Structure 1
């Protein structure tokens, strides 16, 4: 039976472009790190709340030093962190209650607690909200699923890559849609383990191959190139920095789903990929988050 547990929360507010720096600063202490907009996603000056959860009381001085380093790297003042104890809650039960079945295009995403029967003709994916990002609820993940749904009506892919796989939701959707083997890669070993577990639960363990490493330098990723479909649901800044790598790993005629960016960052990310010869073929915007379909 699930049990209620105490957790410590670290909270701070930062500009949107600084989110990756401060998420990385919190990761050594935290079991999960998330970011939430404070206000409207349409407001370019809106601050974001970066929040980390940990099972042990964090070292406030060590946290402050890492935040100061991140602030210097981004060129802003060090944000004030609030560290406090969260009352005991049954997080597993709450996650299940807060994760009702979700329909996105042809995809039907549900947790293990779902006792019904998936609708006929839908691609069912069992996924519990947990330690890795990607349950289909976030706008960027939903938009990626919409993109896959649209692509499935037009063409077939034989050699796909899910870069920054998180929970593996996109790799699972690709494998189930085209019945092909998918390479799922993430810098976080926990995400890789979660993806492997989710593949087995969904009965497609043989179709999902995983790798752990930073971006396109992940072991085995270069050996498998080029890919005719690349899904990269990450963040704007790393997407820009890896635009050349994406082009080199994408097969001629291949398609890349580039996601995890705010709408206002779209032009920046598009320009970076166009610089390396990629073409924009479509955009999907959901709740202020933009997903790009690029082709080589």
Structure 2
């Protein structure tokens, strides 16, 4: 089935959310509307809708003018079997000792590798993105250096590929949390697919705000592969649950954002150990300074 998208940008969260609500009242109505902040420091927000019928471009023009947004760009999307497409295009990824793959590539897992199975239909956070790959390589660095880790927390876990990687290495229960209930369901499905039931506790939580996280803190290793804004906002909370001399692996950052985030975490008791860039994305490996 052919679908259509209509996308625009404008300044400010409030106007963007109001435009999103107005789009929901269009005829033909969209099957979905999304409102997202563009994480480049510009202050711009993207508003977009999906349609199964050709959208009314005159009505879209009225909305863009009313909300002082850029003219909508309407595009036609051909019918695509996205799962089949992902299977074709997502080749396995080697990240140090870790090997991320789909079931269609099960015969390609190298001997001695730590396998991480992520199905194509659950492709967000597979290791192909520079942020996830960077986190896996930072983890591989810690393992290679023999850093002792007795507890791990993965905040904003998505598919929980990072939590699973830690569970492959260390014999302790890893905690993985996400604000999105669907992500938690995906994470739990991945645990079953990888034979890691009982090794990773998956929780729906906002940041570190969950009694079961508090009960297990502090953690020797904390992952947070999210975005610049949430990373900065969460800095005091992550510092609170990171053990002295423990490590944090942070990503979801554009290269030009890394210095600012590292500075915020320095103010919250961390020292920068390593800064890795993969394409336009950065990963920070930090160590929590011991308490005085």
- Structure-2-length-normalised TM-score: 0.79
CA distance in 2: counterparts of 1:141 and 1:158, whole angstroms: 22
Cα shift at 1:9: 3.2
For residue 278 of structure 1, the aligned residue among 245, 270, 277 is 270
Alignment of structure 1 residues 38-187 onto 2, 5 Å: 78-131=69-122, 133-154=124-145, 155-187=147-179
CA distance in 2: counterparts of 1:46 and 1:275, whole angstroms: 25
CA distance in 2: counterparts of 1:137 and 1:33, whole angstroms: 25
How many residues of Structure 1 are paired with residues of Structure 2 in the alignment?
A: 274
Partner SS for 1:152: helix
Match of 1:291 in 2: 283
CA distance 1:141–1:30, shift in 2 (3 Å): farther
CA distance 1:11–1:254, shift in 2 (3 Å): same
* Residues 17-72 of structure 1: per-residue CA shift (max 9 Å, x gap): x99x979x97x9759999999xxxxxx89999969685867999xx99x999xx9x
CA distance in 1: counterparts of 2:123 and 2:37, whole angstroms: 14
CA distance in 2: counterparts of 1:293 and 1:142, whole angstroms: 13
Cα shift at 1:180: 2.5
Range with greater deviation from structure 2 (148-157 or 108-117):
108-117
Q: Is the 8 A contact 2:188 2:202 kept in 1?
A: yes
For residue 202 of structure 1, the aligned residue among 171, 194, 199 is 194
Q: Is the 8 A contact 1:144 1:291 kept in 2?
A: yes
**Rg larger in structure:** 2
Unaligned runs of 5+ in 1: 38-43, 72-76
* Residues 241-284 of structure 1: per-residue CA shift (max 9 Å, x gap): 11111110101111000111111111110111111121111111
Q: Is the 8 A contact 1:132 1:191 kept in 2?
A: no
Alignment of structure 1 residues 226-245 onto 2, 5 Å: 226-245=218-237
CA distance in 2: counterparts of 1:57 and 1:185, whole angstroms: 38
CA distance in 1: counterparts of 2:231 and 2:212, whole angstroms: 20
CA distance in 1: counterparts of 2:266 and 2:93, whole angstroms: 34
Unaligned runs of 5+ in 2: 25-30
CA distance in 1: counterparts of 2:132 and 2:274, whole angstroms: 16
- Structure-1-length-normalised TM-score: 0.78
Name the Cα RMSD after superposition.
4.0
Cα shift at 1:11: 3.3
CA distance in 1: counterparts of 2:123 and 2:108, whole angstroms: 26
CA distance 1:256–1:45, shift in 2 (3 Å): closer
Partner SS for 1:88: coil
CA distance in 1: counterparts of 2:53 and 2:122, whole angstroms: 19
Range with greater deviation from structure 2 (119-128 or 83-92):
83-92
- Is 2:249 the counterpart of 1:260? no
CA distance 1:233–1:252, shift in 2 (3 Å): same
Match of 1:220 in 2: 212
